[in-house]
């Protein structure tokens, strides 16, 4: 079997029009990414796919709230909204990959694993929501909504507008890791920990129960990469390369950077929390463990990125 690569697909990279896209539009974006993943499989990489759900889980939560406001329907807890996005996006990726493999005569099966991820009830992030979900709003729109829903918290998200945030505890363990490993060993392309995984906590009775939060899929992906001993971590997002001085006149795209240089850029504050910082932190965590290379790029550049012709590559010094 070829090198084990984890590809983490950003939730925003599947939504082009701030939530006004239809399910069919999202499926088309998924199909585009599936073409690039199939290219990697044809190059003999052993691929595991994870994905985000930031926009989609926010849309689901809002639909549930509006159904409550308008029709008095019972609300869907945030943890169930996460589970719904894991199933819904997993289904689309699974179908797109299956069809793409069949079209090309690639003899690979695909399976999506509903994945629970353990978090700590004492995680301080429950008191300090940081994960942006749903649509982007102007400051005026956000202020209006805040008047109507005083408990909502908004942040400015990387110059793209204002978004609602929810708690995002750190992942501790992936409950279905053995099932994921077994499927990889059996030759499946596995889709797992969608939306960062369904957050669960261990009870005093040693059982698990869901808790309302959205885990960062980059942190969850780096934990999975460690647990399955992946060699390469690829994070696809809305930009082809990570930049320093992002959005400023002196913005510079990064091609190859060492772990030490990356840490230096973090210290200099080039990566905002809630968008690029978690990707970089997850990458550094992966490189500290078993990782040999991290690539951050957009889905369209995947094929070129894997052969070093696109994307930002984080490598160990001396490579």
Ligand X SMILES: Nc1ncnc2c1ncn2[C@@H]1O[C@H](COP(=O)(O)OP(=O)(O)O)[C@@H](O)[C@H]1O
Ligand Y SMILES: NC(=O)OP(=O)(O)O
Note the residues at the interface with ligand X (CB under 6 A).
10-13, 52, 54, 158, 237-239, 242-243, 246, 270-272, 275-276
The structure tokens listed for 296 are 């951050």
Active site residue 131: yes
Among ligand X, ligand Y, none, residue 195 binds (CB under 5-8 Å by kind): ligand Y
Is 196 a residue that touches ligand Y (CB under 6 A)? yes
Query: For ligand Y, which residue of 40, 180, 214, 233 counts as binding (CB under 6 A)?
Result: 214
Is 11 a residue that touches ligand Y (CB under 6 A)? yes
**Gap between the Cα atoms of 229 and 185, Å rounded:** 12
Active site residue 103: no
The structure tokens listed for 221 are 């992906």
Query: For ligand Y, which residue of 5, 6, 7, 12 counts as binding (CB under 6 A)?
Result: 12
From residue 55, alpha-carbon distances to 21, 100, 125, 136, 166 in Å are 11, 25, 20, 9, 12
Among ligand Y, ligand X, none, residue 167 binds (CB under 5-8 Å by kind): none
> 174: buried, middle or exposed (CB in 10 Å: 19+, 13-18, 0-12)?
buried
**In this complex, which beta carbon is closest to ligand X, that of residue 46 or of residue 237?**
237
Among ligand Y, ligand X, none, residue 214 binds (CB under 5-8 Å by kind): ligand Y
Is 171 a residue that touches ligand Y (CB under 6 A)? no
Active site residue 11: yes
CA 34 to chain CA centroid, Å, is 16
> How many CB atoms sit inside 10 A of residue 75's CB?
13
**In this complex, which beta carbon is closest to ligand X, that of residue 116 or of residue 312?**
312
The structure tokens listed for 283 are 């990458």
> How many CB atoms sit inside 10 A of residue 209's CB?
11
Active site residue 263: no
Catalytic residue among 36, 125, 131, 303: 131
Between helices 259-267 and 276-288, what is the axis angle to 10°? 140
Among ligand Y, ligand X, none, residue 234 binds (CB under 5-8 Å by kind): none
**Gap between the Cα atoms of 141 and 64, Å rounded:** 20
Active site residue 12: yes
Tell me the site size for ligand Y, rule CB under 6 A.
Answer: 11
Q: Are strands 312-315 and 293-297 parallel, antiparallel or unpaired?
A: antiparallel
Among ligand Y, ligand X, none, residue 183 binds (CB under 5-8 Å by kind): none
**Residue ranges that bind ligand Y, judged by CB under 6 A:** 10-12, 52-54, 195-196, 214, 216-217
Residues with catalytic roles? 11-12, 131, 217, 279
């Amino acid at each position: 079997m070829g090198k084990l690569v984890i590809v983490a697909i950003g939730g925003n990279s599947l939504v082009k029009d701030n939530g006004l896209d239809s399910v069919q539009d999202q499926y088309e974006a998924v199909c585009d990414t599936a073409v690039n993943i199939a290219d990697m499989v044809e190059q003999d990489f052993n691929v595991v796919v994870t994905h985000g759900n930031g926009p989609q889980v926010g849309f689901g939560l809002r639909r549930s709230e509006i159904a409550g406001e308008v029709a008095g329907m019972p609300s869907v807890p945030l943890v169930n909204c996460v589970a719904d996005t894991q199933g819904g996006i997993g289904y689309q990726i699974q179908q797109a990959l299956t069809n793409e493999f069949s079209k090309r005569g690639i003899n690979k099966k695909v399976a999506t694993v509903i994945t629970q991820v353990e978090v700590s009830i004492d995680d301080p992030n429950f008191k300090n929501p940081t994960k942006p979900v749903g649509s982007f709003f102007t400051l005026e729109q956000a202020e209006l909504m805040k008047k109507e829903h005083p408990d909502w918290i908004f942040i400015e998200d990387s110059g793209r507008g204002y978004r609602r945030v929810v708690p995002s505890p750190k992942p501790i363990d992936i409950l279905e890791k053995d099932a994921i490993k077994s499927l990889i060993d059996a030759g499946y392309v596995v889709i797992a920990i969608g939306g960062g995984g369904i957050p669960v906590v261990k009870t005093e009775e040693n059982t698990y129960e869901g808790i309302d939060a959205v885990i960062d899929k980059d942190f969850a992906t780096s934990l999975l990469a460690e647990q399955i001993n992946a060699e390469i971590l690829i994070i696809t997002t809305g930009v082809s390369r990570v930049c320093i001085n992002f959005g400023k006149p002196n913005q510079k795209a990064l091609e190859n950077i060492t772990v030490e240089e990356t840490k230096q850029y973090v210290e200099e504050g080039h990566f905002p929390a809630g968008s690029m910082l978690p990707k970089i932190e997850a990458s550094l965590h992966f490189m500290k463990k078993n990782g040999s290379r991290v690539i951050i790029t957009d889905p369209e550049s995947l094929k070129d990125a894997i052969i070093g012709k696109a994307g930002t590559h984080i490598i160990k010094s001396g490579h």
